[in-house]
Structures are given as structure tokens and as C-alpha cells.
A and B are shown apart, each in its own frame.
Chain A
Amino acid sequence: MTDTALVELKNLEKEFAGTKALKGVSLSFLAGEVHGLLGENGAGKSTLIKILTGVYSPSDGEILLEGASVRVSSPPEARRLGLGAVYQDAELVSSFTVGQNILLGNEPGRFGVSDRAIHDEATAILADMGIDLDARRMASTLSAAEMQLVTLATLFHRRYKLIVLDEPTARLSAAESEVLFRIIERFKKQCIAIVYISHRLREVQEICDRATILRGGLVSGTLNRGEVTEDRVTELMVDRNRSELSIYNDGSRARPEVLLEVTELATANLSPLSFTIRAGEVLGITGPVGGGMEDVARALGGVVRHAGKASLRGKAIDVRTPIAARRSGVALIPEDRRKQALFPALSVAENICLPILNRLERFLTIRPGAMRKYSDDVMGQLAVRPRNAALQVRFFSGGNQQKLVIGKWMSAGASLYIIVEPTNGVDVGAIKEIYDIILQLAQDGAAVLLVSSSLRETLALADRVMVIHDGKCVAEAPKTHWTYDELLAVTLSGKSKTAA
């Protein structure tokens, strides 16, 4: 580690449609240091990284690379400057081999592409990194963790000066994480700056030389190694000034009868987990991204292979496929609206009416009038703007799209609503309305399973809170037992303080 700043950010600002995501961030990354980046959801971490890697351009401020001001206009430009990143959901070319992926865009030789040269070099890189993988294996046969390692290997020969790792251990096992840490040590020796984003405090303590905590679009503090303690980080992270949303689930909606009973639910990333949800109750599951909480939702929605049983109202239900899950009365409202829940080129009416088309039919033809009226009612109930059922969904804002996804399942009469990260990419104004809608679902007697990495959201909406860390439930307690700081401490460390 040296004392010269490799990259210096000066007063970076970023504004999205009137909301400031970054309000003047000044930070420096030194050559050969591992710099942790921590912060709540919405604190500005991902915006900062996207500016650094050319995905966004800043509204104001300056980036200095080795003392000179640079403009990072696009990802290829960032790459040329030596700024690289590995994202959580890294992409590989699936029909290429491991070796071809590692050297993609940087093949040895001038013009010709020699298969042998590529695989020889890739094999050397893999051996050098201590990754036990055959360079000739097809990328399509890799597991998620192996893909992550291959993506890391692609960094090796690119001569980056700064590398951003976004939650790199989210998909890795303990042994694979050790490989990752060894790789990071090597990068350090080559005087590369590493920006390490993680929600796992132990990792940050273990490998980061310094750690910066962001809060509400500002730097709230930079800690040196040894100063990174649970108490200090919590204190710097929690935004006391942030206006609390006026929504709070006081627990009055929950009824005594148990609606959902889950026994020994398990997937590849989730140790067996049992829980129940009563009618009108909201169970909030939180934890670090990739720590296993997503799998609870995906298993019950029938999207991922799993073991264990689930029953609704005492009757066993089949959730092996999405279709079976729907039929059993389970509605999954996934995180990635655009990819998984909506048909952007279809109208609102066509989207909303999809689950209930059979109710709108007469003599096997759909009555357009009934469709229009039904969608208009739903849009009114959910305050979707603009209230135009004929408009294509892609023209709506993120918040309104999210309302439409919920609206799509609302009247399909589900007994269990699984809602994943409901306010991801939703503008502030729409968040309260979405919370209202979710609580209304509980009010009407459904069981609601909320999976969210936002602690505020979880504490506002849930009756009970469960924390899942590294595939295991580390704490479960009624919401009233938690303070925000305690919950944050548990999700960061994975250790339970309160008795479950």
C-alpha cells in the first residue's frame, strides 16, 4: 500500500429526476489498498460504483485518475482507463469455454485466434490464482460460484488499476471465499486498488485496509483497519435524520389462525427452515443479499428446486413449479419486474387481467369492456398514474410498474403473497403507496412474506422479523423486540444477540 491516491473523487453529485442520490462525495482510493464500502440500501453505493465504471455520468464533480482529471463516459472507456468491476450477477458467454471467457476481448496474438494459445494462457492464469478448473470446460456447465471465480480470473490479465468487487462472496462458499481473499492479496501486491462492497462485517474487518461508510448520499466516515467495529459502523451507517415514513404495521391486522406452515424448506443455498405465517400477518425476512433469503421466496414460488413441505390452511400444497404454486394460491411478486413479472410491450389491461382472463370470458371470447373496467378499477385502487389501461406498461415509472405487478395478482385471490424487494428502483413518492397496498393485502386476510434487504422496510411492514445469514436463520423475533441498530448488527455479523 502506498500513500499516493490512485483515484480521487471530488465532490461527486448525481441527480435522478429531482432526487439526489449522491450529494457531494469526496473519497480517495490508494494504490494497493483494499477499501471497504458500506452503507444502507439507497445510501449511494451502487450509484457511486456505476459512475466509477462509466455506466452513469455524474451530474457534478470530478474524478481524478493518478492526478489527472478524467471523463468516464462508458464501460469500455472505463476499461481503457483501467477501472474495472465485477458485478454480483456477472455474465459469461455460455457457449464459450472457461478459457475463451477469461481472455475474451484480450486474446493472445495479433490477428489470429489460436485455441491452444488461449487455453494455455487461461490454464496458467487459473493455476496462478489457485482455482481448480479445467480451462476447456464450457461456461454453461459451471455453477454460480464457479462463474464468479471465472469472472474474477478475467480481471487478471486486464491490467486494471482499480477493481470494484460488488458483494463478491455472495455466491461463494467459505473455501471459495478463501480463494477470493488470496486473489485480493495478489492484486494488492500488484499495487491495484480494490473497492470492496460487502454487507458482511467480518469480511470487511478481515481484509480491508480502510472502510468508508456512506449515508444518505454523503460520506459519513472513513475508518482505518482496527477501527472497524460493529458499534462504530452501525453508528455511522444509521441515518438518524432520514425522515421516517409514516407507515407502520402495528400488528393489529394479524389474526390468530395459522395460514401458511412451512416445514424443513431447503435449497442448495438454504439450510432447512421452518416457519408459519398467520392470516393477516406480515413476516419480514432480511439479511445480506445472496445470503439465502431470496431462496425462501423462490422455493415457495416454485422457481427453484427445493426440499421440504408447505401447507396453506392445513392442506399440503404443491409448489414444485410456478404453475402449481399459482394454483395453490401462492403469488410471487419477484424482484426483477421487467424481466420476470411484466410484459412491457403489452398494455396495462393485458398485464393486469392475465391471471383472471377466464373470469372475463363469455363464450370463449374475452369481453374487452370487462377487461377495461376491471383494469381501471385496479388502477384506481392502487393509484396508478397515469390511469390509462390502454397504455403500454413500459411507459410507466418503476413505482407504478411495481404497483401493477401487485395489482396483477391482487384479485387473483392468492392466500399467500411473497413480495421480494418491493421498492427496488421505486421513486420515493411511490414507496408509501406500495407499502399501503401491501398492508391492505394483509388487512384482507392474506399471509404476506416480505423478503427485503432494507431494514427500514422490514421494520415498517413486518409483524415478525427473521434474519437469514449464510443460508441459516440466525434470529427470529417479533418486530417489537428489535431496534434498528440491533437488527443492523445482526445482519452485519450473522450473530444473534437477542434470544429468538
Chain B
Amino acid sequence: MRFLRRWGTIIVLVLAAVGFSIASPYFATVSNLNNILFSMIVSALVSLGLTWVVISGSFDLSIGLTVTTSSILVAFLIPILGPWAAIAVALVAACLIGAVNGVLVTYGRLSGIVVTLGVMFVLSGINIFITGGYQVPVGYDETAFLYLGQGKLGIIGVPVLILLAVFLVALVAATRTRIGHYIAAVGDNPMAAFYSGINVYRWVILAFVLSALMSGIAGVIVTSISSSAQPVGGEGYLLEAFAAVFLGATVLGKGKPHLLGTLVGVFFLYMVDSGMNMVGFPFAARHIFQGLVLIIAVGANALLNREEVHLKFI
């Protein structure tokens, strides 16, 4: 029972991988693994960011649009400021979005869902306003900038390495520093944290800033990968991120979101996507499968992890 709780999700992941490998000779190859990793970069960054906010006990619906905004800002500013300053401005702007979310949720006494939903609409308006609805191209001579998204070190893509670096830094922050410790405490029992003399608001705001920062990094990479910024399309990352975070909560039987779990969750979703694609399932079937996996994984975990009364429906 305890074994299943801890390893259940991983076992299912491995079984699925084995299944796909048998069904398709192209699945278990280095190049396909590379493909899966490459395709999940943006989604993974966004999901890792969202994990912070969910741990802190709130929700962030604005992450998808933050990707788009940062992506556009970078593309827009490169001709003006040069690539490095443009990246810096885009990331600062992303942090600002997070700070606004965080301040409104804490000092503003608004619900996280409402605030970030509002910010999401505002951002989508701003994005179209800046671009006029057209894509913003990045010049092909910006080789240094394009290397971030398109370069390779050996056989591994540079953005994969960026993701890995961001993940490792975040993992250390979450498990080895006060940041992760206090955000988890605040999310679990804000009252106890308050009475322990912890500045509750500060850590909630920080969670939102970290979330937005990671989405901002994702935005920069999106622009670099496609040599342009699209004014729409970031919304899709949001739902994937939620799926990954809650799927990730079941990894290692923690029952609450954690960064490693989220990364495994994203990988699971993209691996299944790739595998079903190779075996020849239609696009619709993949969505159905992903939805079922999410419900079954989280549901099974809840069954194994039974509390006395279940009275939370969010």
C-alpha cells in the first residue's frame, strides 16, 4: 500500500514507456527522448512556476499570458536595446506581473483566482495592443539570442539545458532554503505561520513572483526557438501546467505539489503525447487519454491517502 502510494505514478509512467516501446520501434530512441524534452521546455518552465503558487495555497491563471507578454517584449525590444537588455527588461516585467498578482492577493484581500483571471485578460489586451495583432519577428543576425533556443551542446539542445539549470536552482531553493520552507508552511497553515512570526504576505508574494519569473524565462525561450513572438497562443500552457502540477503531486506519494513531481508530470504528459502520436492514435484520443490519466492518478492517490473527512473541493 505504502509502496504503491510512493511509486504508483512512476510505475505507470514506466509501464506506459515500455508499452510504447513495444508498439513502435522509433519510441525508445535517443532522438525521440530529445524530441520529447525539447517539446516540453516551455510547458515545464510554466508548470514549475505554477507549483510555487499552488504550494503557497493560491492559484495563478495568468501564467500562460505572462509567457506571451515576455515573448513579445523580448522580440520587440531586441532591435532597440540589444538582446541582453531586452531579456532583462522582459524578465523584470514578468516579475512585476507576479508582484502585482501577489500584492492584490495579500494586501488587496482578493482571491487568487479572481486576480489572476483579471490580470490574464489585461495582459491579453496589452499583447494585442503592442503587436497590433501581428507576429513580431527577430532578425536572423541575432545569432547569440537565437542560440538560446536553437543552439546545441553535443546532442542536447541549449533550451533543455536552461530548463535543467532553472529546475536545479528552483529545487535547491525549494528544499534547501528558507524560501521553500516558508512558502510550504504558509500554504499549509497560514494561521500557524502567522503566529510563528513569519511574514506570511511576503512569502505569498514571492511565490507569485517566482511563478511569473519562470513564465518570463519560458517566454524568452519561445521567442528564441521560433525566431518570432506570437501575439496569442499562450493560454494553452495554463491548462497543461495545472494538469502537470496535480499529476506531479502524486509522484513519490507526497500528496501535495512539489517541483520534481511537476517535472515528472510534464514529462509524462509529453511522453504519452509522443507515444500515442507514433502508435498512430488520432489527436482527439490523446486528449481523452491525458484527461483520464490525470483523474485516475490523482484519484488513486486520494484513495490511498485517505483523510477522515474530505471537505475540500477546489
Contact assessment for A75 and B197 in the assembled complex, using a CB-CB cutoff below 8 Å: yes
User: Could you mark each residue 182-211 of chain B with 1 if its beta carbon is under 8 Å from any beta carbon of chain A, else 0?
Assistant: 001100110111111111000000000000
Q: Encode A53-64 as 1/0 by CB contact (under 8 A) with B.
A: 000000000000
A94 touching B189 in the complex, CB below 8 Å, given contacts A75-B197, A104-B196: yes
Q: Which single member of B180, B189, B197 contacts A91 (CB below 8 Å)? A: B189
A93 pairs with B185, CB closer than 8 A? yes
Closest chain-B Cβ to A142's Cβ sits at a distance in Å of 13
Which one of B178, B195, B256 lies within 8 Å of A75 (CB-CB)? B195
Whether the Cβ atoms of A92 and B189 lie closer than 8 Å is yes
Query: How far is it, in angstroms, between the C-alpha of A92 and the C-alpha of B176 when the chains are bound?
Result: 21
Query: Using Cβ atoms and an 8 Å threshold, which residues of chain B touch A100?
Result: 181
A91-B181 in contact (CB<8A): no
| C-alpha spacing A104/B195, complex, angstroms | 10
Report yes or no: A95 in contact with B176, Cβ–Cβ below 8 A: no
Asked if A93 and B192 make an inter-chain contact with CB atoms under 8 angstroms apart, the answer reads: yes
Shortest distance in angstroms between B238's beta carbon and chain A's nearest beta carbon? 26
Contact in complex: B192, A113 (CB < 8 Å):
no
Q: Given the complex, which residues of A lie within 8 Å of B191, measured CB to CB?
A: 91
Task: Check: B177 CB closer than 8 A to any chain A CB.
Answer: yes
Instruction: Tell me whether A113 and B181 are in contact (CB under 8 A).
Output: yes
Say yes or no: B178 contacts A104, CB within 8 Å.
Answer: no
- With A75-B197, A105-B198 given, is the CB distance from A96 to B178 under 8 Å? no
* Shortest CB distance B94–A (Å): 24
B residues less than 8 Å from A92 (CB atoms):
189, 192
Cβ–Cβ contact B177 & A104, under 8 A: no
With an 8 A cutoff between CB atoms, is A76 at the interface?
yes
- CB < 8 Å neighbour of A96 from B177, B188, B197, B198: B188
On whether the beta carbons of A114 and B196 are closer than 8 Å, the reply is no
The residue that B197 contacts in the complex, of A76, A113, A114, with Cβ under 8 A, is: A76
A154 lies within 8 A of chain B by Cβ:
yes
Please tell me if the beta carbons of B188 and A94 are within 8 angstroms of each other in the complex.
yes
A104 and B176 contact, Cβ closer than 8 Å, known pairs A75-B197, A93-B192, A154-B196: no
In the complex, which residue of chain A has the Cβ closest to the Cβ of B191? A91
Q: Tell me which of A76, A106, A114 has the highest count of chain B C-beta atoms within 10 A of its own C-beta.
A: A76
Give A112 to B194 CA distance when docked, in angstroms: 21
- In whole angstroms, how far apart are the Cα atoms of A366 and B305 in the complex? 38
Q: Does A337 contact B (CB under 8 A)?
A: no
Q: Residues of A contacting B189 with CB < 8 Å? A: 91-94
Alpha-carbon gap, A93 to B193, bound state (A): 8
Evaluate contact between B195 and A113: CB separation under 8 angstroms.
Answer: no
Does A107 sit within 8 A of B, measured CB to CB? yes
CA distance A92 to B194 in the complex (A): 11
Residue of A nearest to B198 (CB): A105
Report the separation of the CA atoms of residues A291 and B192 in the bound assembly, to the nearest whole angstrom: 25
Most buried by A among B177, B191, B192, B193: B192
Question: A residues 102-159 with Cβ under 8 Å of B?
Answer: 104-107, 111-114, 154
List residues of chain A with CB within 8 A of the CB of B199: 76
B192-248 interface (Cβ within 8 A of A): 192-199
In the assembled complex, the CB of A165 is this many whole angstroms from the nearest CB of chain B, namely 15
A113 & B176 in contact (Cβ 8 Å cutoff): yes
Known pairs A96-B185, A96-B188, A104-B185; A91 contacts B178 (CB<8 A): no
Structural contact, B184 and A95, CB atoms closer than 8 A: yes
Contacts of A112 in B (CB 8 A): 176-177
Please indicate the chain B residues that have their CB under 8 angstroms from the CB of A114 in the complex.
Answer: 176
Cα(A91)–Cα(B195), bound, Å:
8
**Is the beta-carbon distance between A91 and B256 smaller than 8 angstroms?**
no
A254 to B208 alpha-carbon distance, docked (Å): 62
Q: Is A79 part of the contact surface with B, judged by Cβ < 8 Å?
A: yes
- Residues in chain B near residue A154, CB distance under 8 A: 196
Q: Which residue of B lies closest to A53 (CB)?
A: B195
Contact of A75 with B198 at beta-carbon distance under 8 Å, contacts A96-B185, A104-B185, A113-B178 already known: no
On chain A, the residues within 8 Å of B188 by CB distance are: 93-96
Residues of the B chain whose Cβ atoms lie less than 8 Å from the Cβ of A104: 185, 192-193, 196, 198
A95 nearest in chain B by CB position: B188
Q: How far is the CA of A190 from the CA of B199 in the complex (A)?
A: 28
Q: For residues 413 through 471 of chain A, which have their beta carbon under 8 Å from a beta carbon of chain B? A: none
Chain A positions within 8 Å of B181 at CB level: 100, 107, 113
Q: Can you list 16 A-B pairs, Cβ within 8 angstroms, ordered by A?
A: A75-B195, A76-B194, A76-B197, A93-B184, A96-B184, A96-B188, A105-B193, A105-B196, A107-B178, A107-B181, A111-B177, A111-B178, A112-B177, A113-B176, A113-B177, A154-B196
Nearest 3 Cβ contacts at the A-B interface:
A91-B192, A105-B196, A79-B197
Write the residues of chain B forming the contact surface with A, with a CB cutoff of 8 angstroms: 176-178, 180-181, 184-185, 188-189, 191-199, 256
New contact pairs (17) apart from A91-B195, A93-B192, A106-B197, CB-CB < 8 Å: A75-B194, A75-B197, A76-B199, A91-B191, A91-B192, A92-B189, A93-B189, A95-B256, A96-B185, A104-B192, A104-B193, A105-B193, A105-B196, A107-B178, A113-B177, A114-B176, A154-B196
